[in-house]
Structure 1
Amino acid sequence: MVASDVLSVPPGPLPREGAASPGARPGHPLWRARPYRADVWLAIGLAVATITVTLVSSGRAPYHPPDAVTAALATVSALALAWRQAAPLAAMAVTSTIVAVNAAAGYAVVAVQWPAWLALFGCFSVGGRGVRIASTALCVMAVGGYALFDRGALTVEDMAGITMSFLIATVGGDAARSRRAVAAAQHAQVRGEAREQALAAERLLHEERGRLAGELHDALGHTVNVMVLQAGVARRLFAENPAFAQQALADIENVGREALGELDRMLRVLHPVQDPRQGDEGLDVSDDDPDDAHGQAGAQGLAALADRIRATGREVDLDAEPVDLSAGSERVLYRIVREALTNAVRHTDTGRIRVRVSRVADQIRVEVFNEGAGFASPVPGRGLIGMRERARLEGGSFEAGPVEGGFRVLATLPTHPATGS
């Protein structure tokens, strides 16, 4: 064989060491392996090229002129590359054998060598250690057969060309294999990290639901105790003080309605929810707040929150329109703003924080924008999961993440008439 350009071919899948060839299916022999479509087109194109080059060559002495036999050898050798990745050793064996047979038949090697080099490249690109060793042995046998049977004088230039072609095919194939191995390792690492984030997000979601259920348990326990005490008082004073008894019954009715609303939200916690992995940030904000506990979850509560953040040295721009929300939705709005402000202070030291509460059509739009740069994409965390869950339970939506100029938390809540006591 003589030197020739080694054509670049698209890399195929990377098998494990000692594994079967990529195209071979379990329980099927290699000769029944299904070739890859790219290799089929490569084989067809190379067959046309080798036949053309072989037939137009002069066939000068001491070689036979090109005829149907040499065209058939070139065609079979090129078409064997269809199994370059599906059965690399088979392709190497066929192309190597044809090189030796071509020389023994008295024909010039011309283009019949090209498929052999490409098959060697494929063996080093997709095969394991055994495949690479076997393909090297086949290549040596092909070169030996060519040197033994070729009618021309084997010059130093020919041997240099053969050596260079061998190095290009083996080193290039091994480099392609290493490149795919690195890409596969990176892909596996990314998938592993994504799986860990998904598990962390699911765990935090269950923890958040458990915490919300605990809050509901405490609230319902308090409410039921109050209702029982008021019912007892109303029963005892019904004849002596009917007006007081009627007021107690009215209070029981109002408290019962609020309890039913809380219970309805709890039931919705148990329903499937939107995937919390989309846009979470590793935040953990406590819900223990004296203002929230004492019912200051409206405009006064938001103003108190803004003043508290300003006391830390941060500039807070609060623009809250009067909104008409139920008591539960008003608490959700307050908690979302509170957690967003806490997160902004915790993760940044400077930059203005803008809080906007406005009504858009039949929804209340809550936006907390933390000015700054270099914010990373959110990762699973309790803070944003809790805000998303609260908004969802009220029938609204939630999103958070870096945008141009800073980090934005945006929630929408449906408007409900405030329930009077």
Structure 2
Amino acid sequence: MPTRSDVWLAAGLVVASAFAALLAGSGPPYRPTDALGLVFAVVAASSLLWRSTAPVSVTAVTGTAVILNAAAGYPPTVVQWPAWIAVFTVFATYGRGLRLAGALLTLAALAGYVVFDRGDVTTSELFSITMCFLISMVAGEATRARRFWAEASQARLMAEERTRLARELHDALGHAVNVMVMQAGVGRRVFADNPEFAQEALGHIETVGRDALGELDRLLRVMHSDDDDTPPDLGELAARVRAAGRDMRLTTAEVDLAPGAARAVHRIIQEAVTNALRHTENGRIDVDLAQVGDTVVLEVANEGRHLPAPTPGRGLVNMRERARLEGGRFEAGPVDGGFLVRATLPARGKP
């Protein structure tokens, strides 16, 4: 079925063509405008009803109308408009093969016009026809390229959104699962000697699990932006780590960060602490957050001996990507007696 825009285009062009044919008239050597001349103009314009659904067929119909109009002795003043619109549509819609077919059909129509036209086709007219042909092709090609660029941009945005969601799930749920595993292990080891502590560990496991489910639900419902999210409390994170049996020192000063950067800082802290819990069994975890001039500096260090050699994984990749997206820098690696994660982000208002 014709699209609504094509219906309006065809209807408007039918009316315009009929009025133009009647008002412009024609003189020798052309045949005066009569009912047959109006039929050619109306048929050519009406074929644009299927401009979007079958542009190559419309090109053939409009080209045929141009040839028959010339053979009948009418001037090409009105009947040529739909033909140029059809050429533009073919080049704006299809690939190389059908564009070539549309160009050949148009060239055949132009050749028929030159052969059957009653007037003398001058060099100036041939130049005008050639320019109309080239302008229709170039405009159609530009429209097609712009549409492909828009589609590619949309696909890229969707891929970035999927990556962002995957990163959020990895950071939030990965941390929760690691804390639950640590607390379960501690509770199992002390269950016989200290049942009260084991009971407390089970309570923490339930709380962390509920929070993880809430985080998952939030991520699935709110995927468009993090700007309105308030970063979770770092004190709560420290309490969970201590409940898992690890010593954690949290030193934070007042910093001036945009909401997105603040959430990125929290996620980097969360992921760095998760890695510390995963790769070491003891030792203190130190988190330092401060602002130096117009730069916010975050350092997460964990003590531990005989750490395994770090291997590239999603955790470090996610942390580095979060810092990069906020205009900051990220570095991580083993240091004397442990492992250090360091991120620097621009404060609010800094370009």
**TM-score, with length taken from structure 2:** 0.64
Residue 63 of structure 1: which of 4, 23, 30 is its match? Answer: 30
Letter in 1 for 2:122: T
Q: Distance in 1 between matches of 2:205 and 2:289?
A: 32
Partner-residue secondary structure (3-state), 1:66: coil
2:49 counterpart of 1:82: yes
Residue 107 of structure 2: which of 137, 140, 162 is its match? Answer: 140
Closer, same or farther: CA 72–183 of 1 in aligned 2, 3 Å: same
Letter in 2 for 1:45: G
Q: Distance in 1 between matches of 2:200 and 2:238?
A: 21
Residue 279 of structure 1: which of 226, 234, 241 is its match? Answer: 226
Closer, same or farther: CA 117–76 of 1 in aligned 2, 3 Å: same
Letter in 2 for 1:189: R
Q: Distance in 2 between matches of 1:193 and 1:273?
A: 20
Asked whether the 8 Å contact 1:375–1:402 carries over to 2, the reply is no
2:168 counterpart of 1:221: no
Closer, same or farther: CA 213–292 of 1 in aligned 2, 3 Å: closer
Q: Distance in 2 between matches of 1:194 and 1:154?
A: 58
2:101 counterpart of 1:159: no
Could you report, residue by residue, the CA deviation over 1:64-104 in whole angstroms, capped at 9, with x for unpaired residues?
22122111211111121122221110110010000001111
Asked whether the 8 Å contact 1:376–1:402 carries over to 2, the reply is no
Q: Distance in 2 between matches of 1:138 and 1:127?
A: 15
Letter in 2 for 1:168: I
Letter in 1 for 2:203: G
Q: Say which one has the larger Rg.
A: 1
Q: Please tell me the root mean square deviation across aligned C-alpha atoms, in Å.
A: 4.0
1:161 positional shift: 0.8
Q: Distance in 2 between matches of 1:212 and 1:83?
A: 62
1:296 positional shift: 9.4
Partner-residue secondary structure (3-state), 2:43: helix
Asked whether the 8 Å contact 1:89–1:123 carries over to 2, the reply is yes
Q: Distance in 2 between matches of 1:259 and 1:179?
A: 58
Asked whether the 8 Å contact 2:187–2:198 carries over to 1, the reply is no
Partner-residue secondary structure (3-state), 1:273: helix
Number of equivalenced pairs: 270
1:183 positional shift: 2.2
2:235 counterpart of 1:268: no
**TM-score, with length taken from structure 1:** 0.55
Closer, same or farther: CA 262–164 of 1 in aligned 2, 3 Å: same
Matches within 5 A, 1:222-237: 224-227=191-194
Asked whether the 8 Å contact 1:120–1:135 carries over to 2, the reply is yes
Partner-residue secondary structure (3-state), 1:203: helix
Letter in 2 for 1:273: D
1:295 positional shift: 10
Could you report, residue by residue, the CA deviation over 1:7-56 in whole angstroms, capped at 9, with x for unpaired residues?
xxxxxxxxxxxxxxxxxxxxxxxxxxx33322221111111111110111
Could you report, residue by residue, the CA deviation over 1:109-150 in whole angstroms, capped at 9, with x for unpaired residues?
111101001101111111111111111111111111111111
Structure 1 runs not aligned, ≥5 long: 1-33, 229-251, 310-314, 318-334, 354-373, 382-400, 407-421
Structure 2 runs not aligned, ≥5 long: 257-268, 274-285, 297-322, 331-344
Matches within 5 A, 1:106-255: 106-221=73-188, 224-227=191-194, 252=196, 255=197
Could you report, residue by residue, the CA deviation over 1:281-331 in whole angstroms, capped at 9, with x for unpaired residues?
9xxx9x789x9579999xxx77xx35xx6xxxxx789xxxxxxxxxxxxxx
Asked whether the 8 Å contact 1:216–1:266 carries over to 2, the reply is no
2:39 counterpart of 1:45: no
Partner-residue secondary structure (3-state), 1:224: coil
Higher relative CO (Cα under 8 Å, sequence separation at least 6) belongs to 1
Closer, same or farther: CA 162–377 of 1 in aligned 2, 3 Å: same
Closer, same or farther: CA 183–80 of 1 in aligned 2, 3 Å: same
Letter in 2 for 1:274: R
